Amino acid sequence: MLHDPDLVSVQEVRTKVERAYAAFQEYRKFAQEQVDAVVESMAAAARGEARRLAELAVEETGYGNVESKVAKNLLCADLLPRRIRGMKTIGILREIKEERVIEIAEPVGVVAAILPTTNPTSTAIYKSIVALKAGNAVVLSPHPRAKGSTCATIDVLHRASIAGGAPPELIQCINNATIEGTNALMRHPRTGVILSTGGSGIVRAAYSSGKPAFGVGPGNVPVCVEESADIAESIRKIVEGKSFDYGTVCSSEQTVVAVKPLRERILSELKARKAYVCTEEQGHALARVLLNEKLVVNADCVGQSPRRIAQMAGFSVPEDCTILAVEIRGVGKQHPLSAEKLSPVLALYFVDDFAACLDACEAILRFGGLGHTCVIHSNDDARVLEYGLRMPAFRVLVNTSSPQGSTGITTNVMPSMTLGCGAIAGNITSDNVGPQHLYNIKRVAYAVRTPEEAFPQRAAEAMPDRAAVVSAVERYLSRKLGQAPVRAQAPASAAPSAAPRADSRTIAASVVDRFLGTRRQPAAPAPSTCSCALPKPAAMKAETAAVTVAAAPAATQPPATPPSLPIVDFVCESDVRAAMKESRKIYTGPKTIVTPAARELAAQYDILVQAKR
């Protein structure tokens, strides 16, 4: 019997991943309607338990507050399901008739979901719903300090999924999660993709696992309050965002940046919203207690109330204080409170003009929040656009609280608890991750053009000279018809006294013009055989009849002496295919005309042989 916690965890992971994979084999046969029924059942159950689960999370972790966690649970159990209702994720996604392409969803299999301690219930709801909506199984690994509330949430979802018709083991929870067990989950051969939420260490582990992974970067959110904004309304929303779940959301406001003329009004509005504006000395004390020398947040301060954090820093604030506000003098290591704080502590930075606001907000993002989220409060659309174009963040929110806007509560971005930060932050996506990221798309694509039609300029450049082709085809036809070349411009005395006949050059010109006409019209459907194919005996009769060729007496037309090798004057693609079918070579001379398509095909099978007459 295993006693080592890591060995127990690893064995549990192996067992539960295999169970989830087996259930996935059945679930992958479900139609869209069946999958949607499962998701709706899970969402309804989670909505009914939203408050109880929020209370469990706060009681177990000590992070945040119940009302905010209820809101986050409902974000994932109500707003998210409503947003993805009707979304096609199973089977044929769409048929693009004009392009003759059919797109088909292919689930990734088993989703490994790594959960944080700051959002242990809402993230479990979110990841389970998006995984199953995309047709996958899910194995969830709770944070060790939030195991109780997370496992309780997964139990609700598991029972609801079965009630909705899902296979019994489609959702699995690791009850004995350890670091070794979580690493085993991420590296398991059956794991299809990783959804990782947590600190930078677990995100790096997900990216280094060898599996596709969706992780996110830290959020150090700047908030620009521009002169045209409604200052009172802007500060109200900023305080609501910063106080939401006591700052545990990674997209919480971190630093307000505004021009100096707005300073007194902003401070006044903050106080009206029961924000406590700290003195410079209290600000230094907060910096010391919140962050260490490496600017890592003190875990004891994460998600704590303003009153408790103030007590830890050595001063007191009113009982109804909403947030702590601290004015700073710059951005960077010399100004620790310009970093992410994961608590209801808001930095204030006042600068000279809007250009300086842009510089400061960009600097804040580059100081620990690259790619994540930024906010602007403004009624000047030109400045909003200037801000959006400048900021290195993939969620640029306008006139909203940041946590609520970034997660899709107050904006139309995808409701999500996993906010990608893009390549500039080392993330696989810049999107709010949803079901659409958890399946692959296969495409059934019909042929709609030939290679020559795909590259008309190349085909035109490779087109042989008409006069040379006419000459080559003329010689070919002359041999086939058993007559010497007859030129239209030849003297009348050179023609036989028999009935008039068409000269071979006229026939050659007709064949070549027909061939070149098809080459000049790439949009026309490609014929089943090469349009430049030289006439076979039956076709030759029709050709000669069309131009009223009269056969000369046999006595006057002795057969030509065959060459030592059957060197041809003209080769097209159909000639090469015929030679391939008959397992023979085609002998060419210095003056043989070979079409580009024929040369390319012949080169693959070594059909053409250069010879001398």
- Residue spans of the domains in the chain: they are 5-215+439-445, 221-414, 451-610
Residue 265 has pLDDT above 70, yes or no: yes
Residues facing 140 on adjacent strands: 113, 173
The residue ranking higher by pLDDT, 75 or 607, is 75
- Rounded to whole angstroms, the Cα distance separating 234 from 376 reads 9
Residue 496 has pLDDT above 60, yes or no: no
Q: Is 257 helix (H, G, I), strand (E, B) or coil?
A: strand
Asked whether the beta carbons of 234 and 399 are under 8 A apart, the reply is yes
Vertex 18 angle, CA 16 and 22, to 5°: 115
- Rounded to whole angstroms, the Cα distance separating 356 from 362 reads 10
**Interstrand relation of 101-107 and 92-96 (parallel, antiparallel or unpaired):** antiparallel
Q: Which of 173-177, 187-191, 549-553 has the lowest mean pLDDT?
A: 549-553
pLDDT digits (tens, 9 = 90+) for 307-327: 999 999 999 999 999 999 999
Q: Is 582 helix (H, G, I), strand (E, B) or coil?
A: helix
What pLDDT band is residue 532 in, cutting at 50, 70 and 90?
very low
- Rounded to whole angstroms, the Cα distance separating 269 from 549 reads 102
DSSP state of 298: P
Distances, alpha carbon 190 to alpha carbons 11, 36, 38, 100, 154, in Å: 14, 24, 23, 34, 21
pLDDT of residue 55: 98
pLDDT of residue 390: 98
* The CATH number of the domain covering residues in 5-215+439-445: 3.40.605.10
Which distant-in-sequence residues (6+ apart) come within 8 Å of 343 by Cβ? 246, 247, 290, 297, 301, 302, 303, 304, 309
| 221-414 fold | Aldehyde Dehydrogenase; Chain A, domain 2 (3.40.309)
- Percent of the chain at pLDDT exceeding 90: 69
**Strand order from edge to edge, sheet including 324-327:** 276-277, 324-327, 345-351, 253-259, 221-225, 371-377, 393-398
CA 113 from chain centre, in angstroms, equals 19
pLDDT of residue 219: 92
Question: Could you confirm whether 151 is annotated as catalytic?
Answer: no
What pLDDT band is residue 573 in, cutting at 50, 70 and 90?
confident
Q: Which of 137-141, 243-247, 522-526 has the lowest mean pLDDT?
A: 522-526
- Rounded to whole angstroms, the Cα distance separating 134 from 312 reads 45
Asked whether the beta carbons of 135 and 28 are under 8 A apart, the reply is yes
pLDDT of residue 484: 57
- Catalytic residue, candidates 173, 224, 250, 361: 250
504-519 and 466-481 helices, crossing angle to 10°? 130
pLDDT of residue 108: 97
280-290 and 306-313 helices, crossing angle to 10°? 100
Other Cβ atoms closer than 10 A to 16: 23
What pLDDT band is residue 583 in, cutting at 50, 70 and 90?
confident
Asked whether the beta carbons of 194 and 213 are under 8 A apart, the reply is yes
pLDDT digits (tens, 9 = 90+) for 134-180: 999 999 999 999 999 999 999 999 999 999 999 999 999 999 999 99
Other Cβ atoms closer than 10 A to 33: 9
pLDDT of residue 344: 97
pLDDT of residue 185: 96
The residue ranking higher by pLDDT, 571 or 559, is 571
pLDDT of residue 383: 98
